[in-house]
Structure 1
Amino acid sequence: MRIDIITVLPELLKSPFEASILKRAIEKKLVEVHFHNLRDYSTGNYKQVDDYQFGGGAGMVLMVEPIDKCISQLQQEREYDEIIYMTPDGATLSQGTANEMSLKKNLIILCGHYKGVDQRVRDMFVTREISIGDYVLSGGELAAAVFCDAIIRLLPGVLNDETSALTDTFQDNLLAPPVYTRPSEYKGIKVPEILLSGDFPKIEKWREEQALERTKKRRPDLL
């Protein structure tokens, strides 16, 4: 997989990809992540990428021309499966979307900023708009990092145990059941006996029941 991220703040984005699972995935060449500074595609001494919006109103808007130049250049080099715009008014990111996107080969992620991007960018290029929640961030960079983490961890070979991702919360529209590790008793609180029994069919049944019960209590909307 190759991911090209277009941003006005590449330095804000790079650190998540320099540690932990994302770093290992890049080092193992399971994914390529490239950052493109939008100012490199602007003209003039000030490398302007934003301007006031027509019709008045507070806040600046990312201009269409630099984004057009960047995306058009990338499209000349390869074919992209999706051009994704990170925006609060996009479809809320779900595990199902992450699963779907993890199967793609080439992605462009456009990070919004200020009051967003010129609508013509969305009309001309964007194939999917994604939000990570009903709130507003200063820009789409942190949202892009969250999105990348969600999909990269699903790529074969990224996790040491590939079955781990299949049992994550939301994979079957249920929350994950409670989990325990050593010691088996701590400050008088014991691990459920079933988990120490070695009877794996019964353990799986217990986990399914716990997952269903937890989902009913905490996220009944998933059911």
Structure 2
Amino acid sequence: MLVDEGKNSHFVHASVQEFFAARYIKNRTDIVASKFYGQVLNGKWGAWGEELSFLKQIDPYRSFKYFYIPDLQRSLDYLMSGKPAVDSDVVANYLSSLGVIKRNKVVDGRTNISYVVDKQIHFNTYHMNALSLRVFTSMFAGYPHDARIKPWTAGFDSNPECVTRSYKEIADDRGNFFKDDLYSKVSIFINEFYRDSLVMQDFVRRQEDQTDFIDIS
């Protein structure tokens, strides 16, 4: 819905505005669209998340070709580091690149403890960000009724002097049952990147085959 407030008009829902921004890109020439996707690919994806989601639906060929497939490939190249398949080392290396910092702050004579996520990786992409969000949800899930799984703060609690722990260390802290489950989930997440990339590549290839076909009958 578009609301008129004096001399200014604006959309009630931001998603409506983002949809029209996505439709604007869809209706541009290939040259303009490819430049847009190239800029987003090279670091500006964080400001265009909703638009990219819409473009995936309304401009799949170009969004796949110029953004999603290249971003997936960059992400997989970083994660795999030359390995042919996802294994425990791939997962462990990834989890070691993320961590938690404990901060102690004294207020009115009382020590307040807070924790913040520390991304030690200096390489980030649209899909790496999506992966970190999914892993975050699994990493810090609570299991109050499962004695096999310790709290995620177990490592900090056992050593009050500890101020930082990697996701890998936290997974170890929480016990083998949790660690095995987490490693399995991260492996699945990364393998989904491969699957998604292949599906998108196949879509692009079929679209290009149709475009190249000339009926001479």
Mark yes or no: TM-score above 0.5.
Answer: no
Between Structure 1 and Structure 2, which shows a larger proportion of strand residues? 1
Larger radius of gyration: 2
**Structure 2 length normalisation: TM-score?**
0.25
